[in-house]
């Protein structure tokens, strides 16, 4: 298992796309902090990059990598190795490589300019989002043999989590404006890891007052220690559930 992980990580970290991704994050992070006179404002500007670019690259790159590694995976399956071990090793290699790229590109600048609880939360959320969307990508890749279809599914999932979900929630709030849905929004936010991550960072930046009554409810729940533990647990579920489903499908898949 360790040999597979090392090979996958070494292969990915030499990939030009990953190196460009790392360099882009590094330049964007230092640029944001250099242009802003207040490092907290720079962290808020960097939040948009973390919530959009990181999931996009993680899900698309991981999906393409799995499809391009089909022959390598078939070779491993022909060896006396458990399919579960092969798939989890591939997941750990992908997630570890993209997490390293994120930490170097965003984590180091954040630690240099904003080495506090908010900065650490930003790094932690970015790392979790990287791993979550690698897990979702692998589920999409194992779901269908067709490479084009698999990549299309991955892109649509990113569009849904990044754009469509917020639109659907706003539509729901508008249609049910006469009902008190503020508390229900706490539960609904758990259905989207990007939204949940956004809320956690915004509350750390203390801009929940701009969110009105709903922001006060979010602060009462997510601002507490138990709320933070529950939120991080939900994000971990977003990792474990897709990985479990993809391992289950891979074990049953006819290669």
Dihedral Cα 137, 155, 133, 148, nearest 10 deg: 10
Res 242 pLDDT > 90: yes
Can you tell me the distance from the alpha carbon of 131 to that of 58, in angstroms, rounded to the nearest whole number? 8
Per residue in 164-208, pLDDT (tens digit) is: 887 887 777 777 766 666 667 777 778 889 888 888 887 777 655
Can you tell me the distance from the alpha carbon of 221 to that of 96, in angstroms, rounded to the nearest whole number? 31
Choose among 105, 81, 77, 76: nearest CA to 13: 105
- Give pLDDT, residue 215: 52
DSSP-derived letter for residue 209 is G
- Give pLDDT, residue 92: 94
Radius of gyration of the chain (CA): 19
Residue spans of the domains in the chain: they are 2-252
Res 210 pLDDT > 70: no
- Give pLDDT, residue 216: 54
Res 95 pLDDT > 90: yes
The whole-number average pLDDT for the span 45-51 is 85
- Give pLDDT, residue 5: 87
- pTM comes to 0.90
Give residues with Cβ within 8 angstroms of 228, minimum separation 6: 200, 222
């Amino acid at each position: 298992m360790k040999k597979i992980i090392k090979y996958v990580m070494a292969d990915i970290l030499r990939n030009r796309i990953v190196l460009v991704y790392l360099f882009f994050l590094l330049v964007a992070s230092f640029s944001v902090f250099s242009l802003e006179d207040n490092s907290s404002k720079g962290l808020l500007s960097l939040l948009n990059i973390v919530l959009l670019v990181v999931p996009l690259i993680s899900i698309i790159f991981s999906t393409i990598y799995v499809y391009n590694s089909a022959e390598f995976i078939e070779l491993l399956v022909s060896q006396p190795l458990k399919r579960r071990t092969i798939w989890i090793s591939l997941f750990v290699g992908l997630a570890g490589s993209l997490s390293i790229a994120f930490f170097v590109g965003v984590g180091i600048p954040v630690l240099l300019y904003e080495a506090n609880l908010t900065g650490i939360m930003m790094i932690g959320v970015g790392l979790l989002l990287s791993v979550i969307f690698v897990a979702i990508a692998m589920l999409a890749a194992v779901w269908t043999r067709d490479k084009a279809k698999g990549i299309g599914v991955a892109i649509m999932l990113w569009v849904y989590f990044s754009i469509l979900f917020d639109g659907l929630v706003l539509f729901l709030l508008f249609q049910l404006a006469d009902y008190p849905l503020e508390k229900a929004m706490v539960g609904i936010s758990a259905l989207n890891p990007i939204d949940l991550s956004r809320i956690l960072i915004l509350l750390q930046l203390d801009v929940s007052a701009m969110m009105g009554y709903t922001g006060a409810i979010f602060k009462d729940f997510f601002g507490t220690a138990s709320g933070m533990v529950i939120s991080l647990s939900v994000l971990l579920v977003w990792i474990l559930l897709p990985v479990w489903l993809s391992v289950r499908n891979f074990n049953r898949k006819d290669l």
